[in-house]
């Protein structure tokens, strides 16, 4: 187990992955799905607030860092026309489902339920990018996802309490970033055939 401050170090490293993706979005190499990235920004912020309401300290900043950079990526996708991935009807269905899940939390007002619903909603929001990463890995940044995976992994190693409120979201973030790294590190299908 690492000292508590490694949770913050991990959050900083994970943010560097997001900033690298932001850079690749600005230059037009990465083409983010705006639905996914917008919700990837909102749900961690909700988790951050729910964690802070329950007294979760250092590790809560991992949730904050996980939400801040995606919001910057969305903004950057409007600045560079090459950095836009066209949304499909399924993306909007998943977004509506994710937002509906968050509405359930508002009604119940239970912080742990908020975290659980944020996880489910974030997974729904991630599906368009997971599908795009599988079908078109060249439109994503495997390096950005790999950097974030390392950062969230370090944050996991700094956990001293494996309670739901302190560990669930960081474990989820590590897992989803690892999956995206694996999917996007592959070469595009056209290059495999060449």
More confident residue, 193 or 155: 155
pLDDT at position 36: 85
Q: What is the pTM of this model?
A: 0.79
Residue 191: pLDDT over 70: no
Which pLDDT value is given to residue 134? 95
Integer Cα distance of 119 and 117 in angstroms = 5
Burial environment of residue 52 by CB neighbours within 10 A (0 to 12, 13 to 18, 19 or more): middle
Going from N- to C-terminal start, the domains of the chain cover: 5-193
Chain mean pLDDT for the chain = 84
Give the separation between CA 90 and CA 138, rounded to whole angstroms.
21
């Amino acid at each position: 187990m690492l000292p508590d401050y490694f949770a913050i170090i991990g959050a900083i490293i994970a943010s560097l992955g997001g900033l690298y993706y932001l850079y690749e979005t600005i230059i037009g190499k990465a083409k983010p799905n705006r639905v996914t990235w917008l919700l990837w920004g909102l749900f961690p912020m909700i988790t951050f607030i729910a964690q802070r309401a329950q007294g979760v300290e250092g590790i809560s900043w991992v949730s904050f860092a996980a939400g801040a950079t995606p919001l910057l990526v969305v903004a950057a996708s409007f600045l560079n026309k090459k950095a836009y991935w066209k949304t499909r009807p399924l993306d909007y269905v998943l977004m509506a489902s994710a937002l509906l899940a968050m509405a359930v939390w508002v009604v119940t007002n239970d912080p742990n339920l908020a975290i659980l619903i944020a996880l489910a909603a974030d997974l729904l929001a991630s599906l368009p990018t997971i599908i795009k990463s599988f079908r078109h890995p060249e439109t994503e940044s495997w390096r950005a996802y790999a950097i974030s995976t390392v950062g969230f992994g370090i944050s996991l190693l700094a956990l001293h309490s494996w309670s739901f409120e302190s560990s669930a979201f960081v474990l989820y973030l590590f897992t989803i970033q690892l999956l995206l790294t694996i999917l996007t590190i592959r070469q595009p299908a056209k290059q495999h055939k060449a």
